Each structure stands twice: as C-alpha cells, then as structure tokens.
Amino acid sequence: MTAFLVVLVIILFGVAVWQMTKVFEMSKTKQTDTGDIASDKDNKVNGYLMVMFLVFLYVLAIVCFWKWGDVLLPEAGSEHGSQIDNLMLISMILIFFVGIVTHWLLLSFAFKYRGEKGKKAVFYADNDKLEFIWTIIPVIVLAGLIIYGLFTWTDIMNVSEEDDPLVVELYAYQFDWRARYSGDDNTLGEANVRLIEGVNQLGVDASDPNAQDDIVVNELHLPVGRKVLFKMRSQDVLHSAYMPHFRAQMNVVPGMVTQFAFTPTITTEEMRQNDDVVEKVRHINEIRRENSKELAAKGEQPLESYEFDYLLLCNKICGISHYNMQMKIVVESQEDYEAWLAEQPKLDETFAQLKENR
C-alpha cells in the first residue's frame, strides 16, 4: 500500500513537472519582448493553473478524508469529551465552509481577472460598508464560538467537591508513569522528591497517616461512571499527561501539583466493540501482518497482534525516550475495579520494607 502511494505520488509529480515545463517552453518560444516580466501568455497559463490549483485543493481534502478518515480518534470515552467533540464538529464545519468559499473566491478571481494587454482594472479603493460587513460577521460568529467554548472550558476545569471524585495521583518521571490511588480515605498522603528513597519511589511521607493506605501501581484502572480527579506531579522535567481518548490533557510540572478531572463513560471492553475502533484495529493488524512477513523474511520475530487499549501518553518533550513514555489505562465496572485494587499492595507495606532495609 505504502509503496503504491509512493509510486503514485512520484508519478503524479513527474507528470505535473513535465506538463509545466512543456507549458512554459511553449510560452517561451512565442514570447514578445517582455523579458522576465509576465506576458499575456504567462498570465493566461498561470490563470488556468490557478483553477487547477483550486481543484487540487478540493481533491486533496476529499482524498484525505476518504483515505485517512479512519485514523481519527474514535468517540470520546469521557463525559466532557462529547461536549468537546460537539464544539469541534461545529468549528470544523465553519472552517470548511469558510475555507471552501474563500479559496473559491481567491483562486477563481485569479483566473477570471488574469491580465491582458489593454484591459482596464477597476479603480476601487475602499468601501466602508463592505469593511463593516466583514468585520461584523466574524465578530458575531466568534462571539458565539467564544461563549460556547468558555462554557465548555469552565465546565471541564472546575471540579467541585460535591462530585466526590476519586482522587488519583499521576506521577511522571523520565521515562515512565506511576499512578497512586488515595485508598479508603480518598486522601493522598503528602509527598516530596526529597523523600525519595529505595522502594519509596514517589517520595511519599511515611509519617503521614493519610499515606498508609495509598497504593502505587504502573497501570491505571478507572471505574466507569465515576469522576476521577488526577493530581499530577513530576519528578524531574516537564511532562504532559495526554489521554487522547478521554479528550484530556494537563502538563505535569516539577515543583507544583497540577490537576485534571473527567468521568470515564465507556469501559475498555465496550470501546473494543465500537465500530470505528474495530475498523481501526483491523486495519492496524493488517499492517502488522504485512510488516511481520517482511520481518519473518529477515528471520526476525513477527509482531504481536494488536488489541485496543486506552493510553496515557507523554506529550511534552522530556528527553531521549519521550516517544515511548506511556501507560495503559483500563476502564472497567466498579466491581472489577475494586477487585483489582484489593489485590494491589498498600504503601504501609512499602514503608515497613523500607524500615527493615535501613
């Protein structure tokens, strides 16, 4: 597939170059003595090319949607995510409408009014009414977008205590993530990088009573339908906790605690059944099988087949292995979540172990 695309693009480009040089050669031979200043012939040729450019842009947009529409993120797995997707859809429709119309105007004018000797341009210097119209229309449209956007934003960023969110710490370091659950008291114990010691990787304060039931894990499990409040901490440099499927992102900053909250609405199992995801996974596995064939020919291990999982990615350049700093997220029912959590060791065990080692 890739090879085919490569060849196609190269051939199309070759044809374009060949055609263009031919066109310009032709225009060169019949040139009047305008030297390197555009002649009527140049105006005509380039005017037509402007129309072709317009067609190219429209075709490019259509081809991209047709070929790569399926790589886009599937439906949002969080409550606020659908609001964002909605606003995104409205903005996109607006953008495409304005883009299509303005390009049509720009490039069709470029064709229609291409220069000819003796033709008179219209001396048209200003028109306050027109200026007013294209000031006021963006004002109204943007006012709508701003208001919608700000309500959505405030809604997402304001976390009220009444929601009784599950408090989870996301801890970032070069180049991995840890999650710390706050345990039965739903309160995280105090922590500071100065307390990092041996197995106490997150620098949690052993003397804090709130810390004793905290649980540190390297895979994020979330109960469906309950609001989760992430408190984020970095050990070394800036990182960013990016959870694209939940439309969630917040930078993780050394020296401060940042936060982001959302309510997962679709379990991992349900998401795997989603039509878009099924299609995407099928496509990815097809690619992986193709690549495996090549690997097998070289005598290397074939690639494993892929199954969908939510991901937490690092999205702020953080060093050499930035590209591979990720953590799996599992969204499951409340019961499954509790069962999983019960199996994880609590921090008091870690503290005890630490004491023994001293």
Partner 1 sequence: MSAHTEDLAVDHHDDHGHHHKQTFISKYIFSTDHKMISRQYLITGIFMGIIGILMSVLFRMQIAWPEEPFTIFEIFLGKWAEGGVMDPSVYLALVTIHGTIMVFFVLTAGLSGTFSNLLIPLQIGARDMASGFLNMVSYWLFFISSVIMVLSLFVEAGPASAGWTVYPPLSALPQAIPGSGTGMTLWLVSLAIFIASSLLGSLNYIVTTLNLRTKGMSMTRLPLTIWAFFVTAIIGVVSFPVLLSAALMLIMDRSFGTSFFLSDIYIAGEVLHNQGGSPVLFEHLFWFLGHPEVYIVILPAMGIVSEVMATNSRKPIFGYRAMIASILAIAFLSTIVWGHHMFVSGMNPFLGSVFTFTTLLIAIPSAVKAFNWITTIWKGNLQMNPAMLFSIAFVSTFITGGLTGIILGDSALDINVHDTYFVIAHFHLVMGISAVYGLLAGVYHWFPKLFEGRLMNKNLGYVHFWITAIGAYGIFFPMHFVGMAGLPRRYYTNTNFPYFDDLADINVVITIFAIITAAVQVVFLYNFFHSIFYGKVGPKNPWKSTTLEWTAEIKHIHGNWDGPIPHVYRWPYDYSKLNKDETGYVIPGQDFIPQNIPLKENEDELNH
* Interacting residues with partner 1 between 293 and 322 (CB under 8 A): 303-304, 306, 311, 313-322
The one-letter code for the residue type at 37 is I
Binding mask 151-190 for partner 1 (x = CB under 8 A): -xxx-xxx--------------xx----------------
Q: Does 326 bind partner 1 (CB under 8 A)?
A: yes
CA dist., res. 35 & res. 42, Å (int): 12
Can you tell me which residue has the tokens 């700000």?
A: 150
With contacts defined by CB under 8 A, name the span among 144-152, 163-171, 206-214, 330-338 that binds partner 1: 144-152
Question: For residue 101, what is the enclosing H or E element?
Answer: helix 79-112
Quick count: other Cβ atoms within 10 Å of Cβ 16?
12
Are residues 222 and 265 in contact, defined by beta-carbon separation less than 8 angstroms?
A: no
For partner 1, give the closer residue by CB, 98 or 352.
98
For partner 1, give the closer residue by CB, 157 or 339.
157
Minimal distance in Å, beta carbon 90 to partner 1? Answer: 10
Report the DSSP beta bridge partners of residue 328.
311
Sign of the four-CA dihedral 245, 246, 249, 254: negative
For partner 1, give the closer residue by CB, 9 or 352.
9
Report the DSSP beta bridge partners of residue 260.
230
3-state secondary structure of 226: coil
Q: Which two tokens stand for residue 127?
A: 């028109």
Q: Does 280 bind partner 1 (CB under 8 A)?
A: yes
With contacts defined by CB under 8 A, name the span among 176-184, 216-224, 265-273, 280-288 that binds partner 1: 280-288
Cα separations in angstroms, 229 against 144, 203, 287, 312, 342: 30, 20, 37, 15, 20
Q: Contact with partner 1 (CB under 8 A): which of 11, 22, 55, 138?
A: 138
Q: Contact with partner 1 (CB under 8 A): which of 213, 225, 254, 292?
A: 254
In the window 208-227, what residues touch partner 1 (CB under 8 A)?
none
CA dist., res. 57 & res. 26, Å (int): 26
For partner 1, give the closer residue by CB, 92 or 352.
92
Judged by CB under 8 A, how many residues of this single chain contact partner 1? Answer: 130
Q: Does 231 bind partner 1 (CB under 8 A)?
A: no
Can you tell me which residue has the tokens 């710490």?
A: 169
Q: Does 139 bind partner 1 (CB under 8 A)?
A: yes
For partner 1, give the closer residue by CB, 294 or 338.
294
For partner 1, give the closer residue by CB, 210 or 251.
251
With contacts defined by CB under 8 A, name the span among 131-139, 207-215, 263-271, 346-354 that binds partner 1: 131-139
Quick count: other Cβ atoms within 10 Å of Cβ 214?
23
